[in-house]
Chains A and B, each alone.
Chain A
Amino acid sequence: MLTLENVYIARDHAPIIAPVSETINAGEVLALMGASGVGKSSLLAYLSGTLPSGLTGHGEVTLDHLTIQDLPIEKRQLGLLQQSPLLFNHLTVEENLLFAYKSPESRFLRKKDIRSKLVEIGLEGLEHQLPQHLSGGQQARLALLRTLLAKPKALLLDEPFSKLDHSLRIEMRELVLDAIQKTQVPTILVTHDQEDADVMATRVYNLRPI
C-alpha cells in the first residue's frame, strides 16, 4: 500500500501544486492527470527521490507502513518507468537484467529465470544483443522487465507509452497491466492520454496548480 499524505511540490518555498492525499492499495492504479507542466512528473520524482535541484517536495510518503521520503533512492524499493527506457547501452540485454536482479540465488539460476522471462515478453534469443540494436517496442519491454526484476513494492509510471505508436502502446499497456495484476503492486500512472487512464486506472486524480 502506497500512501501520500499532504504531498506537494514547491519552487523557492512556494507550492506549485495543491497537496495530494491518496492511498493506493495493492494492485490498484492511480492515474495522475492534469495540465502540461503542472508538476505531475515532479511529484513522481519526489516519490522516487530524483527531484531536480530548484524544486523541493513536502509531505509524507509511506510504502507498506514505512516512511520513505527521506530514504536514499536505492532503499525506497520503487520501480520507475519513464518515456525513455534508460537502458545501459554498454551492457547486453541479459546483463541489463542481471544488474537489476538482486537475489541470493546463483548466477546460473538467475540467468535461467531471465531467459524464461524473456520468452514471456517476446524477447527470446536476444539476451546477448546490445539494447541499442533493439526496436523501440523491444526496448520498452526490456525496460519493463528490468524494473520488475528489481522486485519493487510500488510502480511509478511516468508517461511510459507516450513515445510508442498506437499498436505498440496497446501491447505495452496490456503487458504492464498484466504485470501489475500478477505482482499486486500499487501503481501511480502519470499520463496525458485519457485512453491510457480509461484502460489502466482504477481511479483518476486531477492534479491542480496553485
Chain B
Amino acid sequence: MGFLGVFLPSFGIDPAAGSEDFTFTAWKQLFHAAEFWSGLSLSLFVGVVSTALSYWIATSLVIACFGSRWFDRLNTFIAPILSIPHVAISIGLIFLISPSGWLVRWFSPWLTGFERPPNWLIVQDPQGWSMILALVMKETPYLVFAMMAALSQLDARSRIQTAKILGHSTISAWHGTLLGPLYRLVRLPIMIVLAFSMTVVDVAMIIGPNTPSTLAVTLLRWFNDPSLILRGQASAAAIVLAGSVVVMMLLWEACYFIYDKLRKYVTLSGDGITYAEPLTWFGALVGSGVFLLTALTLMVLPIWAFAHRWRFPDTWPSLFSLNTISRLGQRLFELSLSSLSLALVSGFLALLISLVLLERERCFLQSKLVTTMMLFTVLMPQITLLFGIQVGLLWVGWNGNWWSVLLLHLIYVLPYVYLTLKAPYLAFDERILQQANLLKNSPIKNYLLIKLPLLKVSLSAAFALGFAVSMAQYLPTIMSGEGRINTLTTEAVARASSGDRKLVSSLALIQAFLPLICFYLATVVPKHWTTWRVALRRKFC
C-alpha cells in the first residue's frame, strides 16, 4: 500500500489532489529540477561514504580488540550507545564541533587566539562531512555489535589460532579465515546502515547540508508544499530514492565481491596479506577517536541543559542552574509523556504481535514471508513508504490523531522487535513446556508462567530495542501526527536550528536519557528478577 501511494501519484493519479489522468509530467518536472540531481548525488555520497567508513572502523576495532580484555569492554561501551537516538547524537555533535562548540572553546583563546567564534563552515557543510561523522558515530557501534554477535557463531578463536600456527600474522589470519564468513553474517546490518544513511531525514535536517539538502529532505519539502503542485514530483523522487537504495545495495555487493576475490588472491599468495596491517591499526585508532567523540557529545548535552551562562570562549559555563529545565518543565513533561506513551504502547504491542507470529511459525511451517516483509520495511526508505501510507490514511480519513501515529510507529518498531526475538524464541527448548503441560494441563497458563519467564532476558531486550526505535521516530510522527502530536524527537528536530541551545540540549538529553533507562532496566532487571522474587518470598512467607 505504501509503495502504491507514491507510485500512482508519480504518474498523475492522485485523487487527494483532484488529478486522475495518467501523465509523465511529474517525472519530466523531476528530471529538470536541479535540486533533484544535487540532492541525489549528495544522498549517494553520504550514504556510501558513511557506510564504508563505519564498516572499516568497526572491522578494525573488532580485529584490534579480539582476544584481549578490551573486547568485553568494547561490548559494555557500545551497548548503551545503540539505544541513544540519532537526533541526540547529532545535536550533541553540533555543540561539540561547531565554531562556537566545546572543542574550539577548549583551545581558545590561549592557543587559537579566538575571542569570538570563527567563521568556519563545519556543521551543515555543503559536502555533508559533518553528517557523515554523525552517522559514523551512531552506525559504527551498531556494526561492532552485529560483528560481535556473528563472531560467536564462527569459532573465531580457533580459526585465528590455526591460521597463526600455519605462519600467518594476526591481520593475515583475519583476512584469510574470518572476514569473508563474517561479512556473510553481517550483510543485513550493513545493508540496513546503507539504506538508512542514504535516506535519513532527521539527521540530515539537523546536521546535513541545506544548500542543497539530501534528496530525502528535499522531497519532504516538496511533499509538504501547500500548493500540492510538487506532490507528483515528490512521489517520483521517492521512487527514485527507493530505486537508488536497491541499486547501491547491488553495487555495494558487486564491489565487495571483487574486493573479496582480490583479498583471497593476496591471502593465498606466497606471503599472505601484509598491506592491511597499518590500515587496520589506523582504523582502530580512528574508531577510538570516534568513541571518544561520542562520549564528549553525550557529556556536552547535560552541560548545556544545566548551563545558566556560558559565554564564548569559556571552557565551562560560568553559572549552572535548573532554570531551563524548570522554565520548560511543563512542556518537557508533556513531550516526554507523549514520547513515552507511544514508545511503551508500540513496544508492548510489537512484542505481543511478534510472539503471536513466532508461535505461529514454530507450530506451523516456518514461512519466510513474515521475515521478508519485516526486512522490506527496514530496508526501504521511510520517506517512500510513509508517503504512500499517509496517502492511504488520508483516503480513509484517519490521520492526525494519536492512534495513527501509534500505527506508524508500530510499523517500524515491529520489524526490530520481531527480528531480535526470532532466534532466541525459536531456539527455546520446547521439552520444558511439554513437561509443564504433562504436569499441569493448562497450556496457556504454562505458556505464560513457564515459557515467557524463561525467555524474559530476550523479551526485555527486544522490548528495549522497540522502545528505543519508537523514541527515535521522526518522520512517522510528523507525517501521521500532522503537527498535532509532538514528541521529544519532533520538537528537538524542529528546534535544532533555533539557536536556543539550552532548550535543544534539554530535549536531546531527555530523548537520550529515556531509552538509556529502559535499556538499563531491560539488561539488569531480568537477570536478577528470579533472585529478587525468591528473596522477597522468603522475607514475607
Output the least CB separation between A23 and chain B (Å): 22
CB pair A73 B270 closer than 8 Å: no
Binary flags per residue of B265-282, CB closer than 8 Å to A gives 1, else 0: 001111110000000000
Q: Which residue of A lies closest to B162 (CB)?
A: A86
Output the least CB separation between A158 and chain B (Å): 11
A100 close to B (CB within 8 Å)? yes
CB pair B270 A80 closer than 8 Å: no
Residues 157-178 of B contacting A (Cβ, < 8 Å) = 158-159, 161-170, 173, 176-177
A95 to B268, CA, bound (A): 7
CB pair A102 B271 closer than 8 Å: yes
A-B contact count (CB 8 A): 65
A79 to B162, CA, bound (A): 9
Known contacts A88-B159, A88-B177, A99-B176; is A73 also within 8 Å of B165 by CB?
yes
| Stretch of A8-16, A55-63, A103-111, A178-186 contacting B (4+ beta carbons < 8 Å) | A103-111
Q: Which residue of A lies closest to B69 (CB)?
A: A53
CB pair A99 B164 closer than 8 Å: no
CB pair B180 A90 closer than 8 Å: yes
Residues from chain B with a CB closer than 8 A to the CB of A76 are: 165
Known contacts A90-B181, A100-B167; is A73 also within 8 Å of B272 by CB?
no
Output the least CB separation between B48 and chain A (Å): 26
Residues 181-229 of B contacting A (Cβ, < 8 Å) = 181
A78 close to B (CB within 8 Å)? yes
Residues from chain A with a CB closer than 8 A to the CB of B162 are: 80, 86, 88
Binary flags per residue of B434-449, CB closer than 8 Å to A gives 1, else 0: 0000000000000000
Q: Which residue of A lies closest to B161 (CB)?
A: A50
CB pair B180 A105 closer than 8 Å: no
Partner of A74, one of B159, B168, B180: B168
Residue among A48, A86, A147 facing the most chain B CB atoms (10 A cut-off): A86
A91 to B179, CA, bound (A): 12
CB pair A110 B270 closer than 8 Å: yes
Partner of B158, one of A79, A86, A90, A107: A86
CB pair A99 B268 closer than 8 Å: yes
B264 close to A (CB within 8 Å)? yes
Output the least CB separation between A103 and chain B (Å): 5
Q: Which residue of B lies closest to A104 (CB)?
A: B270
Q: Which residue of A lies closest to B163 (CB)?
A: A99
A104 to B270, CA, bound (A): 6
CB pair B164 A74 closer than 8 Å: yes
A209 close to B (CB within 8 Å)? no
Residues from chain B with a CB closer than 8 A to the CB of A74 are: 164-170, 173
A72 close to B (CB within 8 Å)? yes
CB pair B181 A146 closer than 8 Å: no
Known contacts A90-B181, A99-B176; is A107 also within 8 Å of B167 by CB?
no
CB pair B270 A102 closer than 8 Å: yes
CB pair A78 B270 closer than 8 Å: no
Output the least CB separation between A7 and chain B (Å): 19
CB pair B270 A100 closer than 8 Å: no
A100 to B180, CA, bound (A): 17
Output the least CB separation between A133 and chain B (Å): 17
A49 to B164, CA, bound (A): 10
Partner of A50, one of B165, B169, B177, B272: B165
A98 close to B (CB within 8 Å)? yes
Output the least CB separation between A64 and chain B (Å): 16
CB pair A146 B166 closer than 8 Å: yes
Residues from chain B with a CB closer than 8 A to the CB of A79 are: 165
A20 close to B (CB within 8 Å)? no
What is the size category of the interface that chain B forms with chain A?
A: 20 to 34
CB pair B264 A80 closer than 8 Å: no
Residues from chain B with a CB closer than 8 A to the CB of A150 are: 165-167
Partner of B161, one of A73, A104, A105: A73
A73 to B170, CA, bound (A): 9
A147 to B166, CA, bound (A): 7
CB pair B165 A78 closer than 8 Å: yes
CB pair A72 B164 closer than 8 Å: yes
Residues from chain A with a CB closer than 8 A to the CB of B177 are: 88, 90-91, 99
Output the least CB separation between B204 and chain A (Å): 38
Residue among B162, B165, B264 facing the most chain A CB atoms (10 A cut-off): B165
Binary flags per residue of A68-100, CB closer than 8 Å to B gives 1, else 0: 000011101111100000101111000100111
Residues from chain A with a CB closer than 8 A to the CB of B165 are: 48, 50, 73-74, 76, 78-80, 150
Output the least CB separation between A140 and chain B (Å): 15
A103 to B268, CA, bound (A): 10
A66 to B376, CA, bound (A): 59
A20 to B271, CA, bound (A): 36
Partner of A100, one of B159, B166, B169, B269: B166
Partner of A102, one of B158, B180, B264, B272: B272
A182 to B124, CA, bound (A): 69
Residues from chain A with a CB closer than 8 A to the CB of B176 are: 88, 99
Residues from chain A with a CB closer than 8 A to the CB of B181 are: 89-90
Residues from chain B with a CB closer than 8 A to the CB of A103 are: 270
Partner of B264, one of A49, A73, A95, A110: A95
Q: Which residue of A lies closest to B165 (CB)?
A: A80
A146 to B166, CA, bound (A): 8
CB pair A99 B158 closer than 8 Å: no
CB pair B159 A73 closer than 8 Å: no
Output the least CB separation between A152 and chain B (Å): 8
Residues from chain A with a CB closer than 8 A to the CB of B167 are: 74, 77, 100, 102, 150
A147 to B270, CA, bound (A): 15
Residues from chain A with a CB closer than 8 A to the CB of B166 are: 74, 99-100, 146-147, 150
Q: Which residue of B lies closest to A88 (CB)?
A: B177
A32 to B158, CA, bound (A): 23
Residues from chain A with a CB closer than 8 A to the CB of B164 are: 49, 72-74
Known contacts A73-B161, A86-B162; is A98 also within 8 Å of B169 by CB?
no
Q: Which residue of B lies closest to A107 (CB)?
A: B269
A98 to B164, CA, bound (A): 14
A72 to B167, CA, bound (A): 10
A99 to B169, CA, bound (A): 12
A176 to B269, CA, bound (A): 27
A86-B162, A88-B159, A147-B166 known, 16 other contacts, Cβ within 8 Å:
A49-B164, A73-B161, A73-B164, A73-B165, A74-B164, A74-B167, A74-B170, A74-B173, A78-B165, A88-B162, A91-B264, A95-B268, A99-B268, A107-B268, A110-B270, A146-B166
22 of the cross-chain contacts (CB-CB < 8 Å) are: A49-B164, A73-B164, A74-B164, A74-B165, A74-B169, A76-B165, A78-B165, A80-B165, A86-B159, A89-B181, A90-B177, A91-B177, A91-B264, A95-B264, A99-B168, A99-B267, A102-B167, A102-B271, A103-B270, A104-B270, A107-B270, A110-B270
- Nearest 7 CB-CB pairings of A with B: A73-B164, A98-B268, A100-B166, A74-B164, A150-B166, A86-B162, A50-B161
